[in-house]
Amino acid sequence: MSVCLSLSLSVCLSVCLPACLPVCLSACLSLCVCLSVCLSVCLSVCLSVCLSVCEYLRVTGVCSSTAPPTNTSLSVRPGDWLQEGQQVTFSCQSDGAPPPTLVLRRKGEELQRTGPAPSQLSFSLSSARLEDSAHYQCEASNQHGSQLVTRTVSVTAHPLQVEVSPPVSSAERGSGLVLTCRASGCLHPPNFTWTRTDQNQNQSQNLQGTQQDGLSLLRLQDLDLQDQGVYRCEAQCDSVIRTGTVQVHVYSFPSDPVLERPGPVLRGREAVLRCDITDVFSANQMRVLWLSGNTTLHSESFGFSGSLQNVSAVLQRRVQEDQVLTCRAQLLAPGGHVWRSRTASVLLTVHSPPTNTSLSVRPGDWLQEGQQVTFSCQSDGAPPPTLVLRRKGEELQRTGPAPSQLSFSLSSARLEDSAHYQCEASNQHGSQLVTRTISVTGTTSC
Ligand SMILES: *[C@@H]1O[C@H](CO)[C@@H](O)[C@H](O)[C@H]1NC(C)=O
Ligand SMILES: *[C@@H]1O[C@H](CO)[C@@H](O)[C@H](O)[C@H]1NC(C)=O
Ligand SMILES: *[C@@H]1O[C@H](CO)[C@@H](O)[C@H](O)[C@H]1NC(C)=O
Ligand SMILES: *[C@@H]1O[C@H](CO)[C@@H](O)[C@H](O)[C@H]1NC(C)=O
Ligand SMILES: *[C@@H]1O[C@H](CO)[C@@H](O)[C@H](O)[C@H]1NC(C)=O
Ligand SMILES: *[C@@H]1O[C@H](CO)[C@@H](O)[C@H](O)[C@H]1NC(C)=O
Give the mean model confidence (pLDDT) for residues 230-239: 90
Q: How confident is the model at residue 6 (pLDDT cuts 50, 70, 90)?
A: very low
Residue 402 has pLDDT above 80, yes or no: no
Indicate whether residue 236 lines ligand 2 (CB < 6 A).
Answer: yes
- Per residue in 408-443, is it b (16+ CB within 10 Å) or e — as a string? bebeebeeebbeebbbbbbbebebbebebebebeee
Tell me, in angstroms, the distance from the centre of ligand 2 to residue 182's CA.
17
Q: What is the pLDDT of residue 64?
A: 57
Residue 208 per-residue DSSP state: -
Residue owning the nearest CA to atom 5 of ligand 3: 200
CA atoms of 18 and 104, how far apart (whole Å): 37
Residue owning the nearest CA to atom 7 of ligand 1: 71
pLDDT tens column, 241-256: 899 999 998 999 999 9
Alpha carbon of residue 409 to chain centroid: 80
CA atoms of 45 and 26, how far apart (whole Å): 12
Q: What is the pLDDT of residue 294?
A: 87
* Half-sphere exposure in the Cβ direction for 411 (13 Å, CA): 0
Inter-residue contact 85 to 127 (CB < 8 Å):
yes
Q: What is the pLDDT of residue 19?
A: 74
Which has more confidence, 274 or 37? 274
Indicate whether residue 190 lines ligand 2 (CB < 6 A).
Answer: yes
Residue 425 has pLDDT above 80, yes or no: yes
Torsion of CA 53, 56, 60, 62, to 10 degrees: 20
Judged by its nearest atom, the ligand closest to the C-alpha of residue 353 is 6
Inter-residue contact 347 to 382 (CB < 8 Å):
no
Under CATH, to which class is 67-156 assigned? mainly beta
Length of the chain: 446
For the chain, give the percent of residues with pLDDT over 70: 93
Q: How confident is the model at residue 12 (pLDDT cuts 50, 70, 90)?
A: low
Q: What is the pLDDT of residue 336?
A: 83
Inter-residue contact 100 to 140 (CB < 8 Å):
yes
Residue owning the nearest CA to atom 6 of ligand 3: 200
Give the mean model confidence (pLDDT) for residues 383-388: 92
Tell me, in angstroms, the distance from the centre of ligand 6 to residue 357's CA.
9
pTM of the shown model: 0.62
Closest to 64 in 3D by CA, of 112, 10, 26, 101: 10
Torsion of CA 125, 128, 133, 136, to 10 degrees: 10
Least confident of 55-59, 293-297, 316-320, 404-408: 55-59
Q: How confident is the model at residue 214 (pLDDT cuts 50, 70, 90)?
A: confident
Residue owning the nearest CA to atom 3 of ligand 2: 191
Question: Which of 198, 200, 201 should be mutated for ligand 3, with most atoms under 8 A from CB?
Answer: 200
Tell me, in angstroms, the distance from the centre of ligand 6 to residue 382's CA.
14
Neighbours of 253 (CB within 10 A): 22
Residue 368 has pLDDT above 50, yes or no: yes
Nearest atom of ligand 5 to the alpha carbon of 307:
13
Under CATH, to which class is 161-251 assigned? mainly beta
Q: What is the pLDDT of residue 142?
A: 86
Residue 212 has pLDDT above 50, yes or no: yes
- Per residue in 160-194, is it b (16+ CB within 10 Å) or e — as a string? bebebeeeebbbbbeeebebbbbbebbeeebebbb
Residue 401 has pLDDT above 80, yes or no: no
Tell me, in angstroms, the distance from the centre of ligand 2 to residue 84's CA.
17
Q: What is the pLDDT of residue 10?
A: 61
Tell me, in angstroms, the distance from the centre of ligand 6 to residue 384's CA.
15
List the CATH code of the domain at 258-348.
Answer: 2.60.40.10
pLDDT tens column, 17-32: 777 888 888 888 887 7
CA atoms of 387 and 316, how far apart (whole Å): 34
Q: How confident is the model at residue 122 (pLDDT cuts 50, 70, 90)?
A: very high
Question: Which of 162, 191, 192 should be mutated for ligand 2, with most atoms under 8 A from CB?
Answer: 191
- Within the chain, all domains assigned CATH 2.60.40.10 are found at 67-156, 161-251, 258-348, 352-441
Out of 194-198, 287-291, 394-398, give the one with best mean pLDDT: 287-291
Residue owning the nearest CA to atom 2 of ligand 5: 278
Judged by its nearest atom, the ligand closest to the C-alpha of residue 360 is 6
Indicate whether residue 203 lines ligand 3 (CB < 6 A).
Answer: yes
Indicate whether residue 191 lines ligand 2 (CB < 6 A).
Answer: yes
Under CATH, to which class is 352-441 assigned? mainly beta
Q: How confident is the model at residue 4 (pLDDT cuts 50, 70, 90)?
A: very low
Mean pLDDT, the chain, rounded, equals: 87
